């Protein structure tokens, strides 16, 4: 037997040799890792440090890098917030449907992911109390965020894509506010450039977690599951408003107008706060989808009552939305062959669609995909969405300044592009004013117009100025009295919620931190302004600023730092959910319902189902999320796994 002191000495020797290969900021986490994970860490870290860049690898190697990274994050980047309810189980066969508030999904923890549970974390919180106003958020917003001139995404991403992600955000997250108001004031040096020189807003509510390490947390008032709560609501009273209680269906008015409350003329379907006509157009479309599923199920299974029809149609509709997001929206956002394989791999596995459709889920998550796994997996941490997830989804620069309305009565021009009819200021397209102004132009005109307009790019100096003086809404979509400067508020929110600033955020994700401004960007104008706002203190740079300033991977509409959070959480949304794993089958969804999910591959499929002929006439592109007059995706004869990035 080898004496213990010798083992320790040998371990230290090995570590001191390996240490030179590892960035000093990762020594501590490396020592905490399990032996096999250390090896995996050395691989991805070696790739990062050498400057080889995983996204330049042939597809199969890029995928291997991403799988390795995801594995490590599932082990070290999931932090529980909120008292663990323990083995608070139930019998899943009593709940073969999605409940109104998201309870009873995780068989070992009935409250996991439900409305009003805690946001989790992907990294330890950082107390910013000292630096809550350093530098002043209104200075950061004015000097680094405010749009100077619209920068768009070219043909890559359109306004449907921007509305889609807001539609999903409304499904996933919303922080509970306290009743305490805070005031932010613009310092003199920027006051004349701020649309509001001061503004009031409600603090995020802090709640005791009952834990020793993370003592306070914040509550998500939405269900964190991918369950369509943007349409169905996150509790039974919201759900009650939208159900007709006839044949499982939801309320909708002719030509896809959302049903409104008789008294105050506000929409009644699910999340209605801080929306705009783009989101309600998508919401209307998916209410039609839900109702069409009810019709098919009723025809096939005439004995199903209203409740059963509703429950099955909700399962199917939510799965269709999750699938579109995974293999259509995200593929356009991160437009590379590697991510195409990765996202389709999450749904279908590396064996692919044809194999899975024929033989079902075979093998583990690598071969068969996350969807349809035998068991959900939360990696020992109750499922929730996280603070960092909310922070990287602060994508308001996607919004343009005007919504260009197209003329869909005249014939299409080159590449199926429609003529311009008129433009509407975005500030008039939001809230109930926007609904009133734009509901009557009809679904086709709204959709075609959004399809043909590029979204804004996720860059500095591209934050819509109209959102710096916007009327926030209450949860019931009534307007608040105090306008807010959303750009400044977002900087404040990340600090208030103890989300690390950019460089620490990167470290926590095992990404090499920057050591000088030039590591982030080669735009000298940006570097000068960063220096003006933060001096030479790189560690002070706010997360949102860093995310928008970071050089992007070719084909990615957002930066790599944000992408790593997606890598963790997009997989987790599927893998931790019983209805995408052990209960993703014909028994739970019905044979017809399951077939519906299988045969729906894209948003285009849903549009074609409800508005036949529309995409044929107006859409030249392959995906409904790219600008519709773009050329279709080229076909390559090289097998996708062997392709090299362009």
List, by residue number, the catalytic residues.
Answer: 170
Q: Which member of 393, 463, 579, 618 binds ligand HEM (CB under 6 A)?
A: 393
| Nearest distance, CB of residue 402 and ligand HEM, angstroms | 13
CB-nearer residue toward ligand HEM: 493 or 501: 493
What sign for the dihedral angle of Cα 457, 458, 459, 461?
A: positive
Binding flags for ligand HEM, 272-291, as an x/- string (CB under 6 A):
--x-x---------------
For ligand HEM, the binding residue among 472, 500, 546, 555 (CB under 6 A) is 472
Which one, of 107, 103, 111, lies nearest residue 93 by Cα? 107
Options 239-247, 258-266, 396-404, 438-446: segment touching ligand HEM (CB under 6 A): 396-404
Give the separation between CA 208 and CA 589, rounded to whole angstroms.
Answer: 38
Query: In whole angstroms, how close is the CB of 396 to ligand HEM at the nearest point?
Result: 5
C-alpha 393/C-alpha 65 separation (Å) is 24
The C-alpha R_g of the chain, in whole angstroms, comes to 24
- Residues 207 and 436: their CA atoms lie apart, in Å, by 38
Q: Is 390 in the site for ligand HEM (CB under 6 A)?
A: yes
Could you tell me the CA-to-CA distances from 79 to 118, 388, 563 in Å, in that order? 11, 11, 19
Task: Give the residue with the Cβ less far from ligand HEM, 390 or 603.
Answer: 390
Measuring CA to CA, which residue among 182, 175, 180, 177 is closest to residue 205? 177
**Pattern of binders to ligand HEM over 136-175, x per CB under 6 A?**
--------------------------x--xx--x---xxx
Q: Which is nearer to ligand HEM, 172 or 628 (CB)?
A: 172
Residue nearer to ligand HEM on the CB measure, 274 or 384? 274
Chain residues 451-470 in contact with ligand HEM, contact rule CB under 6 A: 470
CB of 278 to ligand HEM, least distance (A): 7
How would you classify the pairing of strands 216-217 and 419-425? unpaired
Element (H, E) at 365: helix 365-368
Q: Are 229 and 171 in contact (CB under 8 A)?
A: yes
Return phi, psi of residue 537, to 5°. Answer: -90, 85
Size of the site for ligand HEM (CB under 6 A): 23
Fill in the DSSP letter of residue 55: G
Binding mask 533-572 for ligand HEM (x = CB under 6 A): ----------------------------------------
Distance between CA atoms of 12 and 114, rounded to whole angstroms?
45
| Of 605, 608, 628, the residue nearest 320 (C-alpha) | 605
* Partners of 175 in beta bridges: 220
CB neighbours (10 Å) of residue 484?
21
Does 186 engage in binding with ligand HEM (CB under 6 A)?
no
Considering only residues 128, 298, 325, 394, which one is a binding residue for ligand HEM as defined by CB under 6 A? 394
Does residue 452 have a known ligand-binding role? Answer: no
In 3D, which of 408, 328, 310, 323 has the Cα closest to residue 357? 323
Residues 426-455 that bind ligand HEM (CB under 6 A): 430
Q: Which of 335, 396, 416, 452 binds ligand HEM (CB under 6 A)?
A: 396
Q: Which residue has the tokens 């995909």?
A: 369
Q: Is residue 81 part of the contact set for ligand HEM (CB under 6 A)?
A: no
Supply the minimum distance, in Å, between the C-beta of residue 394 and ligand HEM: 5
CB of 391 to ligand HEM, least distance (A): 8
Tokens for 177, please give them: 């506010």
Bond into 135 cis (ω within 30): yes
Restricting to residues 475-494, name those near ligand HEM by CB under 6 A: 486, 489, 493
Query: Which parts of this chain interact with ligand HEM (CB under 6 A)?
Result: 162, 165-166, 169, 173-175, 201, 274, 276, 390, 393-396, 398-399, 430, 470, 472, 486, 489, 493
Return binding residues.
396
């Amino acid at each position: 037997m080898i004496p213990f002191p010798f083992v320790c000495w040998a371990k230290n020797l090995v570590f001191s040799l390996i240490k030179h290969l590892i960035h000093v900021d990762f020594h501590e986490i490396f020592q905490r890792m399990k032996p096999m994970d250390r090896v995996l860490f050395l691989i991805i870290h070696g790739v990062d440090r050498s400057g080889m860049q995983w996204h330049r690898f042939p597809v199969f190697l890029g995928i291997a890098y991403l799988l390795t990274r995801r594995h490590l994050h599932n082990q070290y980047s999931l932090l529980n917030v909120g008292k663990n309810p323990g083995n608070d189980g139930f019998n899943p066969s009593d709940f073969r449907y999605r409940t109104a508030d998201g309870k009873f999904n995780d068989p070992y923890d009935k409250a996991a992911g439900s409305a009003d549970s805690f946001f989790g974390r992907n990294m330890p919180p950082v107390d910013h109390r000292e630096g809550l106003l350093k530098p002043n958020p209104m200075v950061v917003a004015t000097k680094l965020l405010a749009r100077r001139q619209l920068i768009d995404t070219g043909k890559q991403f359109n306004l449907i894509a921007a509305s889609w992600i807001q539609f999903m955000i409304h499904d996933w997250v919303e922080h509970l506010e306290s009743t305490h108001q805070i005031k932010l004031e613009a310092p003199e040096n920027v006051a004349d450039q701020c649309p509001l020189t001061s503004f009031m807003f409600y603090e995020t509510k802090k709640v005791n977690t009952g834990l020793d390490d993370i003592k306070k947390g914040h509550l998500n008032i939405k269900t964190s599951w991918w369950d369509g709560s943007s349409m169905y609501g996150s509790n039974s009273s919201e759900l009650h408003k939208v159900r007709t209680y006839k044949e499982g269906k939801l309320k909708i008015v002719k030509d896809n107008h959302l049903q409104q409350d008789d008294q105050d003329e506000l929409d009644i379907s699910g999340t209605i706060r801080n929306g705009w006509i783009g989101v309600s157009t998508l919401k209307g479309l998916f209410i039609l989808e839900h109702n069409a599923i009810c019709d098919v199920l009723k025809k096939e299974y005439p004995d199903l009552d209203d409740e059963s029809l509703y429950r099955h149609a909700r399962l199917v509709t939510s799965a269709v939305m999750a699938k579109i997001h995974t293999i259509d929206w995200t593929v356009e956002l991160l437009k590379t062959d590697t991510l195409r394989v990765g996202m389709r791999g999450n749904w279908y596995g590396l064996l692919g669609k044809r194999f899975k459709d024929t033989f079902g889920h075979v093998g583990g998550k690598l071969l068969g995909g996350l969807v349809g796994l035998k068991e959900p997996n939360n990696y020992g941490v109750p499922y929730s969405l996280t603070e960092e997830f909310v922070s990287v989804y602060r994508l308001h620069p996607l919004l343009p300044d005007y919504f260009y309305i197209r003329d869909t009565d005249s014939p299409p021009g080159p590449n199926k592009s429609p003529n311009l009819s008129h433009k509407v200021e975005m500030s008039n397209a939001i809230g109930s004013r926007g609904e009133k102004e734009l509901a009557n132009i009809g679904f086709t005109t709204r959709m075609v117009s959004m399809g043909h307009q590029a979204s804004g790019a996720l860059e500095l100096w591209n934050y819509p100025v109209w959102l710096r003086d916007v009327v926030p809404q209450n949860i019931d979509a009534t307007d608040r009295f105090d306008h807010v400067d959303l750009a400044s508020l977002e900087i404040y929110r990340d600090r208030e919620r103890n989300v690390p600033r950019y460089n620490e955020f990167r470290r926590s994700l095992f990404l090499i931190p920057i050591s000088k401004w030039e590591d982030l960007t080669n735009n000298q104008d940006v570097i000068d302004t960063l220096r003006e706002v933060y001096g030479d203190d790189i560690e002070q740079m706010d997360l949102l600023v860093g995310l928008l300033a970071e050089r992007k991977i070719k084909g990615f509409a957002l930066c790599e730092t944000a992408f790593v959070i997606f890598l963790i959480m997009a997989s987790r949304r599927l893998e931790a959910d019983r209805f995408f794993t052990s209960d993703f089958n014909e028994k739970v969804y019905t044979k017809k319902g399951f077939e519906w999910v299988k045969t729906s591959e894209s948003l285009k499929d849903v549009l074609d189902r409800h508005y036949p002929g529309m995409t044929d006439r107006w859409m030249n592109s392959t995906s409904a999320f790219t600008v519709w007059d773009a050329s279709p995706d080229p076909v390559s004869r090289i097998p996708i796994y062997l392709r090299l990035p362009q």
